[in-house]
Amino acid sequence: REKIKGLEHRIMDMVRHGNENVIIADRLQRWARNLFQVQSGRALPATIVAEIRQQFMVPQAAIRLWRVAPAHAQAPFAVSPGDEVKSWAATLSSPYCGAPAHEDITQWMAQPDQVQSMAVVALRDPEGELIGLLALASPDPQRYHAGMGTDLLERIGQLAGAALSRLS
């Protein structure tokens, strides 16, 4: 009986995880669909941030791009970070999750004093060239941590990078 009870608990956990994964997949699809509907390239970074905040309940988010066409050079998202941040971004082979890594990136947020944990995703164009960063921030120190899975963040970064590559 104890063995059966243990198996029942494992099955219930698997069903719960499966349901959570379906919810996440639905959110990712809605986010991507909304990106496809953006006509103006200039509106795309703000839409990416707004939709991430809404679909994934992220308290704060920001995008910075440093490979943009001259027509977008004065846009708020085109404020190039310092060389230290760019060098650090170039080393990201997967999203960074944990305590705020760079004060410069924390300052991109509307409320930088409330940032306790952060996820930073390198944005690359379809050829793999680094074009910017997507930063997500939370007042919860455990929301983004080093041991968390980053598959969803990687997919978001790939989709956002491909969409934003039209700005360069």
- Tokens 């085109």 -> residue: 78
Question: Which residue from 63, 146, 57, 68 is spatially nearest to 101, judged by alpha carbons?
Answer: 146
Looking at residue 158, what is its pLDDT?
94
Looking at residue 14, what is its pLDDT?
84
For residues 157 and 148, what is the distance between their CA atoms, to the nearest angstrom? 16
Query: Apex CA 99: angle with CA 93 and CA 101, to 5°?
Result: 55
Asked whether 57 and 37 are in contact (CB, 8 A), the reply is: no
pTM: 0.85
Looking at residue 149, what is its pLDDT?
85
98-151 pLDDT, tens digit per residue, is 999 888 999 999 999 999 999 999 999 989 899 999 999 999 999 999 888 888
What letter would DSSP give residue 80? P
Give residue 58's identity as a one-letter amino acid code.
V
Asked whether 147 and 22 are in contact (CB, 8 A), the reply is: no
Please, which pLDDT band fits residue 164 given cuts at 50, 70 and 90? very high
2-48 pLDDT, tens digit per residue, is 888 888 888 888 888 877 887 888 898 999 998 888 888 889 999 99
Mean pLDDT of 60-74: 89
Question: Which residue from 168, 114, 164 is spatially nearest to 137, judged by alpha carbons?
Answer: 114
* Residue 108: how many other CB atoms lie within 10 Å: 22
Looking at residue 147, what is its pLDDT?
84
